Amino acid sequence: MEEKELLEHLKDATVEEKREILTELSKEEFSDDAVAEIVKMIEDEDAGIRDAVSQALIENSNKKIPELVVPYISSPDIAVRNLAGEILLKKGTDALPAMVKYLKKANDDDQKFLIDIMGLIGDKSVEDDIIKVLEITQNDNVILACIEALGNIKSEKAIDLIIEKYNENELFHPTIFDALGKIGSEEAINFMAKEYENADDLTKYSMIESVGEVGNEEIFFSLLGELKKLNPPLSWVVVEALAKLHEKLELDIPFDESMKNTLVEVINEADEQYKVAASKLLRDFSDKDIIRACLANYGVNDEFNNNVKTKFFENPVVFYKSFIKIAANSEKEALLMELFKEVVTHDEGRGLEELTPVEFRQLCDLFTVKLESLDEEVRLSAMELLFFLCLDTALVFLDTMAKDDNVWNKMRLLEFLSQLDGEEVNNALLKLAEDEDKMVSEKAKEIIQEKGIEE
């Protein structure tokens, strides 16, 4: 069927037929006539058809698509409006000329919508057009959209105009500082530094976030001084900004009690992104407070784990002491048991010799409790650690290990038993020889025969 016939049939086709026609038409670049008909289907009552139309228009390279799609951002139907916005955003810079043209006759709501999309596209070619809107609009939402978009495209030309808006409305302040931070010129940074003292907490929050991205050495040391004056959550944002500047400028943070306490507080109390930021500033800290905080929060995410793991290797004795208290009630027992094995292997167990007899007994008792964990990997790790570190205790709990419902855990137990002698070992082997799993029972019988144990 030719394109003309397909387009004609499209007008009264069923949902399934529309899908088939779209698929057929999409095999080649749409003609202008095809675009004109397909774009109308953005308003189709079937959501599946609308999605299919959107995908077809995004993937097709006909140059008229943006021009015909733009008017739909004025639709009273929010689903249609958003769909048109998504198409324009995905079209990227190719959609900008049509958007700029429509911007000139759009109302406030549509201007904001278009400028939001322009900012997300992030191309500087629309800089002058957005500035013109900002110069004349009286609508607060449009002003905020313009400021945010100009920040996204890093418009240094707009800095003075953005700063002019600072005294118009306090609600503009966070967006202004976010935009100036993204622009990152010396003029922008100097303005933020000048206004910081008089800013409210929400504005300071935005300012600190911004200078974390673009600050210099002077800003770095100013933030260090500011950290001592602030309470959470502002102190958390300062730590994140310091982490970014520390990484970018290769500047060291002070190694003192105040900074340590702040990092411990952030790691223990803050949201995930700030915990990760604090973990990047731990290079010179490895005392018990830092290690306990890091261990208690181990498992936040892979980046945090990688950043703090060296702390445990640096001070294994404190790690072992902290582990006894933290691992007993942690929901991340599998992760912590695996970590313990890594540390004890790296340390070759030397740090364990510095534990008091009571602490060592507590550690062994912890492993015996983990023998009954619901997690088979935790049970396996507990068994291995008992045999390596607390053999006498391991022998007392052979019955518990032999009852493990995981075949491979019992096979690992048999490996240990094959290398040991004694009545407890023999009894465990005889019990495992009667195991319902054939592989386990046969391996146990093989070991019994090799040892010459009488059944």
Tens digit of each residue's pLDDT (9 = 90 or more) over 183-230 = 877 788 788 778 777 778 887 887 888 777 776 777 788 888 888 888
Q: How confident is the model at residue 3 (pLDDT cuts 50, 70, 90)?
A: low
Q: At which residue do the structure tokens 């890093």 appear?
A: 154
Cα separation, 391 vs 389, whole angstroms: 6
If you count them, how many residues does the chain have?
455
Integer CA distances (angstroms), 365 to 117, 329, 369, in order: 60, 13, 6
Give residues with Cβ within 8 angstroms of 80, minimum separation 6.
42, 43, 50, 72
Q: How confident is the model at residue 150 (pLDDT cuts 50, 70, 90)?
A: very high
Give residues with Cβ within 8 angstroms of 339, minimum separation 6.
298, 309, 312
pTM: 0.69
Cα separation, 226 vs 440, whole angstroms: 64
The pLDDT of residue 4 is 67
Backbone angles phi, psi at 339, to 5 degrees: -65, -45
Q: How confident is the model at residue 85 (pLDDT cuts 50, 70, 90)?
A: very high
Q: What is the pLDDT of residues 39-76, one digit of tens each?
A: 888 888 888 888 888 888 888 888 999 999 999 999 99
Q: How confident is the model at residue 18 (pLDDT cuts 50, 70, 90)?
A: confident
Integer CA distances (angstroms), 280 to 64, 85, 135, 249, 266, in order: 50, 39, 43, 14, 12
Report, as an integer, the average pLDDT of 161-187: 87
